[in-house]
A and B are shown apart, each in its own frame.
Chain A
Amino acid sequence: MPALLSVEDVTRRFGGILALDGVSFALEEGQIGGLIGPNGAGKTTAFNVITRLYPADSGRVLFDGENLLRSPAHKVVSHGIARTFQNVALFAHMTVLENVLVGAHARTGFRGEAKAQAEALETLAYLDLAELAHRAAGGLPFGTLKRIELARALVSRPRLLLLDEPAGGLNHEEVDELQGVIRRIRADHSLTVLLVEHHMNLVMSVSDRVHVLNFGRKIAEGTPAEVRANPEVIEAYLGSDDVAEPETTALALEVEGDDGAP
């Protein structure tokens, strides 16, 4: 099957730092792909290059055969790519419904308002957010905000959904629920999903394929089991400065568990 998204040899510098150093990976239609790596590995930069918020210094990003790097940022959503943001980027002074309606901006003209409203309300109901439709988005709980972002992304009718740390800031129950939500939206909307996530349990259980970045370079790729057993990946996590971080320990423990080590 040809890849829906294929990132080819993409490089992105910030001053002297190589945030992405010849990174390539591909995602087949219908897959859930995980993009992991220690802090500063270049995951969010990869998202921002794909969505054209940052220009790439070199390389190509093909989506359904078209080079995205020729599109301006505001046209990316029309290709069928929607995203959520690491720290939630909702419009605080607008209602939840209005936030979600912005998701429909690119595919509705000036006369499609009623239809867009109906679809936005339907999507809110689908994600259990209907009661909040007319509340201002600012001030709602973090987990709810993340779900509103998901609703906004879905209303744009994407083929590819980019989720930037959807589990960040969520509690245990919410993460469990999120797992179900990701699978459910993929099935219901025939989506392809690319997931940047620190929460290893979530990534490993939901991803079909995992891509690992470290210091801007891709160091591994494979099924969750393959990646977990990859020595270079273990080294990247344990050898880096953020050993003390919980997500690192989570991976380490799982890796140890897989190896049968104590």
Chain B
Amino acid sequence: MARAARSTGGVAPPSSTPLRRALSAGAVACLVLLVLALPVLLETRTYELARAAEYAIAILGLVVLVGFTGQISLGHGAFMAIGGYTSGVLMFHTGVAGALTIPLAGVVAGLIGFFFGFPALRLSGVYLALATFALAVAVPSILKRFEGLTGGSGGLVLDVLAPPGRLHVRPERWLYYLTVSIALVLFALTWLLLRGRAGRALRAIRDGEVAAVSFGVNVALYKALAFGLSAAYAGVAGSLLVIDSGFVNPDTFPIELSIRILVGAVVAGLTTLGAIPLGALFIEFLPIYSQQVSQQAPAVIYGAALILIMVLLPSGAAGLIRRLLSPVIGRL
């Protein structure tokens, strides 16, 4: 092949020069350290930070689905409910420690998401949004019906989360580190998955299905897999939500939760994994702060802040970070 090539200026330098790679590795290391130090720095906010980490996991799932394959979901609360109830039911009926139920919660929600992904193939845009919305409305009511298992509308009261064995850590710190470790592992796995062949196939589907099919991407399978993966993350987040609350009932997963996760994903920017923690912090802390600003109308503050962000940062936090960093990175 090369013998026929006309003279070219050689192969362009890859975007990841050693210096850049070292810098981004350093940045990631600093961020991880910061995340680990947070409960010490913000002692009184440990519980809320753990909640934000749970949201980050759910948002990660949604970003894979919406940002990378272009499918929309208004119903990720449904998959959180499936994961949450999987943990709740196991803990209540078998007495197994909550932390051990997390993987199964992810698997159950993931499988259901995968099979929901196939009929969802026939829908797109608004129609898919409505179908997932219906799922989020229906799932808690369906779960309520199996009263013997799920405790009906009263739900299940569970053991409060405790650190294992003789580990002397405060429960909220244990919760924080458990959640953050899971989040970090899932972020790393997702990053590895999306940077290679599978991630390219998903983005190809988003940018042009016909061309993706023509080059061998099994669109139905990849879309369903993305749905399954996304639902699995939501299931893990839902499981953690139940474990940290110490109870589960249908109201644990209101429709508002689904919307909140989507807001977090949009605020984060939908296409970059790195900005997801910001979206998670936003949806956890903004309601708390708007409550402090105005007791009467916290929702107004929340709404106004959201509108402002969408107007000023149409590509979310990711876009802002990119804009701030581009003059620096461009010179490396």
CB distance from A115 to the nearest CB of B (A): 12
| Interface mask (B130-158 → A, CB under 8 Å = 1, otherwise 0) | 00000000000000000000000000000
CB distance from B22 to the nearest CB of A (A): 18
Given A90-B208, A91-B203: A51 and B214 interface contact (C-beta under 8 Å) = yes
Taking residues whose C-beta sits less than 8 angstroms from the other chain, chain A's interface range is: 35 or more
Residues of A within 8 A of B211 (CB): 85, 89-91, 102
How many Å lie between the Cα of A2 and that of B14 in the bound state? 45
A89 touches B208 (CB 8 A): yes
A89 touches B210 (CB 8 A): yes
B219 at the interface (CB under 8 A from A): yes
A13 at the interface (CB under 8 A from B): no
Residues of A within 8 A of B1 (CB): 122-123, 126, 188-189
Given A94-B207, A126-B1, A130-B10: A53 and B201 interface contact (C-beta under 8 Å) = no
Given A85-B211, A184-B4: A74 and B11 interface contact (C-beta under 8 Å) = no
| Interface mask (A148-183 → B, CB under 8 Å = 1, otherwise 0) | 000010001000000000000000000000000000
Residues of B within 8 A of A78 (CB): 216
How many Å lie between the Cα of A98 and that of B206 in the bound state? 14
Q: Which has the most chain B C-beta neighbours within 10 Å: A73, A103, A108, A123?
A: A73
A128 touches B216 (CB 8 A): no
Residues of A within 8 A of B212 (CB): 91, 102
A94 touches B204 (CB 8 A): yes
Residues of A within 8 A of B201 (CB): 102, 105
B11 touches A105 (CB 8 A): no
CB distance from A168 to the nearest CB of B (A): 17
A131 touches B215 (CB 8 A): no
Count: A-B pairs, CB below 8 Å: 114
Say whether chain A's binding surface is mostly helix, strand, loop, or mixed: helix
CB distance from A169 to the nearest CB of B (A): 17
Taking residues whose C-beta sits less than 8 angstroms from the other chain, chain B's interface range is: 20 to 34
B197 touches A110 (CB 8 A): yes
CB distance from B8 to the nearest CB of A (A): 5
A198 at the interface (CB under 8 A from B): no
CB distance from B219 to the nearest CB of A (A): 7
Q: State which of A101, A124, A128 has its C-beta within 8 Å of the C-beta of B200.
A: A101
How many Å lie between the Cα of A95 and that of B198 in the bound state? 16
A126 touches B15 (CB 8 A): no
How many Å lie between the Cα of A77 and that of B271 in the bound state? 29
B12 touches A132 (CB 8 A): yes
How many Å lie between the Cα of A128 and that of B6 in the bound state? 7
CB distance from A108 to the nearest CB of B (A): 6
B207 touches A130 (CB 8 A): no
Residues of A within 8 A of B271 (CB): 93
B215 touches A156 (CB 8 A): yes
A147 at the interface (CB under 8 A from B): no
Given A77-B215, A126-B1: A91 and B10 interface contact (C-beta under 8 Å) = no
A110 touches B2 (CB 8 A): no
B12 touches A130 (CB 8 A): yes
A152 touches B215 (CB 8 A): yes
A102 touches B11 (CB 8 A): no
Residues of A within 8 A of B12 (CB): 130-134
A108 touches B197 (CB 8 A): yes
**12 further A-B pairs in the complex, CB-CB below 8 A; given A103-B215, A134-B12:** A51-B214, A77-B216, A82-B214, A85-B211, A91-B207, A113-B196, A121-B11, A123-B1, A126-B4, A131-B12, A133-B12, A189-B1
Q: List 20 A-B contacts (CB under 8 A).
A: A74-B217, A75-B216, A78-B216, A89-B214, A91-B203, A94-B207, A98-B200, A102-B200, A102-B211, A102-B215, A106-B216, A107-B216, A123-B1, A125-B10, A125-B11, A126-B2, A128-B6, A130-B8, A131-B12, A134-B12
On B, residues with C-beta under 8 Å from A are 1-2, 4-6, 8-12, 14-15, 196-198, 200-201, 203-204, 206-208, 210-219, 271
